[in-house]
Amino acid sequence: MKKMGGLGIFLGAAAVASVLGGGYVFVSQRVMNMILGRKNPKHMEQGARLVSGSDLFTEYAEEISAASLELEQTPGFEPVEIISHDGVRLAGHWYPHPHPKRVIIALHGWRSTWSRDFGFIADFWFQNQCSVLFAEQRGQNNSGGEYMGFGMLERYDCVDWVHWVKGKTGGKEPIYLMGISMGATTVLMASGLSLPKNVHGIIADCGFTSPHAIWKHVTEKNLHLPYLLQGVLANEWCRRRLHVGSKECSAIDALKKSSVPVLFIHGTDDKFVPVQMTYENYKACASPKRLFLVPGAQHGMSYHIDRPGYQKAVREFWREFD
């Protein structure tokens, strides 16, 4: 019998509680705190493989750690801070290129870090004359905030960072928003907001369609648990803590009114965020759009699996929209 791990056992208790009735609301609240709360519970780390539906956390661990450390030790970084629209302190790492052609605002994923998610690709950006702001998402690492918002709150933080970059650079260079996983959904949701004209494009690597959709997928497909009652309680929890319902915000709705060009990227073997979600986002996008798929790539590993193809797709996107 396959072991479920700490997270699977915990969520399994939620399923049992739903059958027994008593205590289910309490268990559901614990689950949501585990998903969106700042603290990363020990059983979440143990259950990472179960949640993602793959072995990527262990398969590439050494390479990811080495690339992350190398990026952190790269000279030339300037630590920066801003106060968000709602008063949260946000931290970032600014790398100014001496002769920039463009600026990238990079947003990492759920329970990750800026150096971990962009350790592989950072050199490519630097070599192509990009100044880069590596933003730390709210509720994680050095940024403030009690909760993460799965893009529902962070989309506004993204706009705050755009204005910071514009003030820092004088708005001379085109700005590209780049995100991976939850960061990708963040920049896609930001596409429906009012962005300055010097935001020339968005690059979204393995983004999901909405918080509701990704929670439902992971619960049903990876954890093999029912989501009906959990979904109702999750939505109510979000309303109370984040002041927005989990079904009220989606990348799809934002993209329907977007005017910013988007490059969608996804690995076909992603079991955490299924590639179908990028197809749905792509179909909804009203602005100029491009699609780059990487056969065999798991979640967030498209650049690692097909570096030449990835670089070519991004360069062509820059060439077209700079």
Q: Where are the domains of the chain?
A: 1-46+212-247, 54-210+249-321
Mean pLDDT is lowest, of 41-55, 162-176, 223-237, 265-279, for 41-55
Structure tokens at 309: 């193809």
DSSP 220: I
Contact 217, 157 (CB under 8 A): no
54-210+249-321: CATH superfamily: Alpha/Beta hydrolase fold, catalytic domain (3.40.50.1820)
Q: In sequence order, what are the residues at sequence separation of 6 or more whose Cβ sits closer than 8 angstroms to the Cβ of residue 320?
A: 261
Q: CA 320, CA 235: separation in Å to the nearest integer?
A: 40
Contact 166, 175 (CB under 8 A): yes
- Give the pLDDT of residue 4: 40
Please state whether the predicted TM-score (pTM) of the whole model is above 0.75: yes
Q: Is the pLDDT of residue 44 over 70?
A: no
Q: Is the pLDDT of residue 75 over 60?
A: yes
| pLDDT range class, residue 30, cuts 50, 70, 90 | low
Q: CA 248, CA 258: separation in Å to the nearest integer?
A: 17
| pLDDT range class, residue 239, cuts 50, 70, 90 | confident
- Give the pLDDT of residue 232: 80
Quick: pLDDT tens for 45-56.
554 454 444 555
Give which of 313, 289, 91, 103 is closest to 196, Cα–Cα: 103
- Give the pLDDT of residue 31: 67
